[in-house]
A and B are shown apart, each in its own frame.
Chain A
Amino acid sequence: MIVLTPIKKSQYPIIAQCISPDVFKEKTKEEIANLTIWIGNKKRQLSDLFKIDKTSDDTLNITINGDVEKVKRIGWGMTQGEIIINGNTGMHLGKKMSGGKIVVNGNTEGWTGSQMKGGLIEIRGDAGDYLGSPYRGSTVGMKKGKIIVHGNVGSDAAVFMKSGVIKIHGNAGPFMGFRKTGGVIHIGKDAGTRLGACMTGGKIVVSGKLENIMPTFTIERIKKKVKIEADDKAVGPFYVFLGDLAESGKGKLFVSKEKNPQLSTYERFI
Chain B
Amino acid sequence: MDLLIKNGFVFDPLNEINGEKMDIAIRNGKIVKSVPDRTSKIIDASGLTVFPGGVDIHTHIAGAEVNTGRMVRPEDHEKDFVRKTAITRSGVGYSIPSTFTTGYRYSQMGYTTVMNPSMAPLEAKHTHEELNDIPMLDKATYPLLGDWWFVLENIQKGDLEECARYVAWMLGITKGYAIKIVNPGGLESWGFGRNVHSIDDQVPNFCITPREIICGLAKVNKMLNLPHTIHLHTNNLGIPGNCSTTLETMKCLESIPNDGKPIAHITHLQFSSFAGEDWGSFHSGAEEITKYINNHDHITFDMGQIIFTDTTTMTADGPFEYTLYQLSGHKWVNSDVETETSGGIIPFHYKRKNPVNAIQWSIGLELALLTKNPWKVFMTTDHPNAGPFTAYPKILAWLASKKAREATFKRLHKKAQRRSLLPSISRELSLYDLAIVTRAGHAKALGLKEKGHLGVGADGDVAIFNINPEEVDIANKYKTFRRAFSNAAYTVKAGKVLVKDGEVLQTAAGKTIWLDVKTSNQIEVNEEIKNKFRTYWTVEYENYPVTDHYIKNSSPIKIKADV
Q: Which of A107-138 contact B (CB under 8 A)?
A: 134-138
**Interface size grouping (class) on chain A:** under 10
Does B72 contact A139, Cβ atoms closer than 8 Å? no
Min distance, Cβ B74 to any Cβ of chain A, angstroms: 4
Does B74 contact A139, Cβ atoms closer than 8 Å? no
Does B72 contact A137, Cβ atoms closer than 8 Å? yes
Min distance, Cβ A198 to any Cβ of chain B, angstroms: 11
CA distance A134 to B331 in the complex (A): 15
CA distance A135 to B72 in the complex (A): 13
**Interface 0/1 of B51-79, CB less than 8 Å to A:** 00000000000000000000011111010
Does A137 contact B330, Cβ atoms closer than 8 Å? no
Residue of A nearest to B84 (CB): A41
Does A135 contact B330, Cβ atoms closer than 8 Å? no
CA distance A145 to B36 in the complex (A): 68
Total number of B residues with any Cβ neighbor in A under 8 Å: 9
Residue of B72, B74, B330 with highest tally of chain A CB at under 10 A: B74
Residues of B within 8 A of A137 (CB): 72-76, 331
Residues of A within 8 A of B330 (CB): 139
Min distance, Cβ A91 to any Cβ of chain B, angstroms: 12
CA distance A138 to B78 in the complex (A): 10
Q: Which of B149-166 contact A (CB under 8 A)?
A: none
**Interface 0/1 of B76-113, CB less than 8 Å to A:** 10100001000000000000000000000000000000
CA distance A88 to B501 in the complex (A): 43
Residues of B within 8 A of A136 (CB): 74-75
Residues of A within 8 A of B83 (CB): 41
Residues of A within 8 A of B72 (CB): 137
Residue of A nearest to B72 (CB): A137
CA distance A139 to B348 in the complex (A): 11
CA distance A70 to B44 in the complex (A): 49
CA distance A231 to B552 in the complex (A): 69
CA distance A135 to B73 in the complex (A): 10
Residues of B within 8 A of A41 (CB): 83
CA distance A211 to B76 in the complex (A): 35
Residue of A41, A134, A136, A137 with highest tally of chain B CB at under 10 A: A137
Residues of B within 8 A of A135 (CB): 74-75, 78
**Interface 0/1 of A87-107, CB less than 8 Å to B:** 000000000000000000000
Residue of A nearest to B330 (CB): A139
Residue of A nearest to B77 (CB): A137
CA distance A41 to B90 in the complex (A): 11
CA distance A136 to B75 in the complex (A): 6
Residue of A nearest to B90 (CB): A41
Min distance, Cβ B37 to any Cβ of chain A, angstroms: 41
Residue of A nearest to B71 (CB): A137
Residues of A within 8 A of B75 (CB): 134-138
Residue of A nearest to B78 (CB): A135
Residue of B nearest to A139 (CB): B330
Min distance, Cβ B189 to any Cβ of chain A, angstroms: 30
Residues of A within 8 A of B78 (CB): 135, 138
Residue of A nearest to B74 (CB): A137
**Interface 0/1 of B433-451, CB less than 8 Å to A:** 0000000000000000000
CA distance A57 to B74 in the complex (A): 43
Residue of B nearest to A247 (CB): B329
**Interface 0/1 of B365-408, CB less than 8 Å to A:** 00000000000000000000000000000000000000000000
Q: Which of A128-180 contact B (CB under 8 A)?
A: 134-139
Min distance, Cβ B90 to any Cβ of chain A, angstroms: 9
Residues of A within 8 A of B331 (CB): 137
Residues of A within 8 A of B73 (CB): 137
CA distance A136 to B83 in the complex (A): 21
Min distance, Cβ B194 to any Cβ of chain A, angstroms: 27
CA distance A12 to B479 in the complex (A): 42
Min distance, Cβ A69 to any Cβ of chain B, angstroms: 21
Q: Which of B264-323 contact A (CB under 8 A)?
A: none
CA distance A136 to B73 in the complex (A): 8
Min distance, Cβ A114 to any Cβ of chain B, angstroms: 10
Min distance, Cβ B330 to any Cβ of chain A, angstroms: 7
CA distance A9 to B537 in the complex (A): 57
Min distance, Cβ A124 to any Cβ of chain B, angstroms: 29
Residues of B within 8 A of A139 (CB): 330
CA distance A134 to B83 in the complex (A): 23
Min distance, Cβ A65 to any Cβ of chain B, angstroms: 30
CA distance A135 to B331 in the complex (A): 15
CA distance A113 to B489 in the complex (A): 41
Sample of 16 A–B contacts (CB below 8 Å): A41-B83, A134-B75, A135-B74, A135-B75, A135-B78, A136-B74, A136-B75, A137-B72, A137-B73, A137-B74, A137-B75, A137-B76, A137-B331, A138-B75, A138-B78, A139-B330
B residues near A (Cβ < 8 Å) are: 72-76, 78, 83, 330-331
Nearest 10 interchain pairs by C-beta: A138-B75, A137-B75, A137-B74, A135-B78, A136-B74, A135-B75, A137-B73, A135-B74, A136-B75, A134-B75
Known A134-B75, A137-B76, A139-B330; 4 more pairs at CB < 8 Å? A135-B75, A136-B75, A137-B73, A138-B78
